[in-house]
């Protein structure tokens, strides 16, 4: 049992690294972001913060909401969740502002391919992290507990959050006059992210 737990922990860490890489590739592609990332980038630009730092702030809010809804005591897994989430924000900052700092893509085709690779990495990694269930993301944990309370499937709840992030991003952007991060990549993400994540989650959940 201990060996199995260690193996799944390693898988979770690798999935987190791939998630950070996937999000960073989407950001560097510059053709629009997933709903959450677009919202995080919009807020980061508004408050002059790095995107990973803003994602950490948002994840803390998601985690607090998750804890309030589930109505159970704080345990060791919650500590792991917070630490892992914070680490992911720093991983994204590391890739975006250091590893890919001088990485410039001129061709639109390469931008689109970079975005698609990043989207696939991010959505599959998210689904894997949720299925392994050792390390959880606050938003995804919130989605799962809402699924249980509302008797809805994961895909529907996650897409509901995407719609909320979309309208929030548009409203804030038009009010502030800052960069619009809603583009064609956002549409692609809206159509694929929840589906790929849900399919990966269902596939792995039945096999772990």
In the chain, % helix, strand, coil (3-state, to 5) comes to 80, 0, 20
pLDDT at 155: 76
Listed residue (129, 57, 127) closest to 93, CA to CA: 57
pLDDT at 199: 87
DSSP characters for 127-138?
A: HHHHHH-SS--H
The one-digit pLDDT tens for each residue of the chain (208 residues) are 567 777 888 888 888 889 999 999 999 999 988 888 999 999 999 999 999 999 999 999 998 898 888 877 777 777 877 888 888 899 999 999 999 888 888 899 999 999 999 999 999 998 888 888 787 778 878 888 898 888 888 778 878 888 899 899 999 999 998 888 999 998 888 788 878 888 888 888 877 7
Buried b (16+ CB within 10 A) or exposed e, 3-25: eeeeebeebbeebbbbbbbbbbb
pLDDT at 45: 93
pLDDT at 118: 94
How far apart CA 95 and CA 201 sit, in angstroms, is 26
Entry pTM: 0.84
pLDDT at 39: 94
pLDDT at 2: 67
pLDDT at 1: 59
CA distances from 195 to 9, 66, 159, 205 (A): 25, 22, 9, 15
pLDDT at 90: 92
């Amino acid at each position: 049992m201990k060996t199995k737990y260690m193996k799944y922990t390693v898988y979770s860490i690798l999935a987190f690294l791939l998630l950070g890489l996937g999000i960073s590739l989407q950001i560097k592609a510059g053709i629009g972001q997933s709903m959450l990332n677009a919202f995080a980038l919009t807020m980061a630009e508004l408050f002059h913060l790095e995107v990973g730092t803003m994602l950490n702030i948002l994840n803390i809010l998601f985690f607090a909401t998750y804890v309030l809804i589930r109505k159970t005591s704080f345990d060791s897994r919650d500590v792991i969740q917070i630490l892992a989430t914070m680490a992911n924000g720093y991983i994204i900052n590391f890739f975006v502002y250091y590893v890919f700092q001088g990485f410039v893509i001129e061709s639109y085709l390469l931008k689109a391919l970079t975005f698609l690779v990043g989207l696939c990495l991010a959505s599959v990694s998210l689904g894997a992290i949720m299925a392994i269930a050792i390390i959880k993301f606050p938003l995804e944990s919130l989605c799962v507990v809402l699924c249980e309370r509302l008797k809805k499937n994961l895909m529907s709840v996650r897409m509901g959050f995407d719609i909320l992030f979309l309208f929030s991003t548009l409203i804030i952007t038009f009010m502030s006059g800052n960069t619009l991060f809603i583009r064609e990549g956002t549409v692609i993400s809206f159509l694929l992210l929840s589906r790929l994540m849900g399919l990966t989650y269902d596939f792995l959940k039945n096999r772990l």
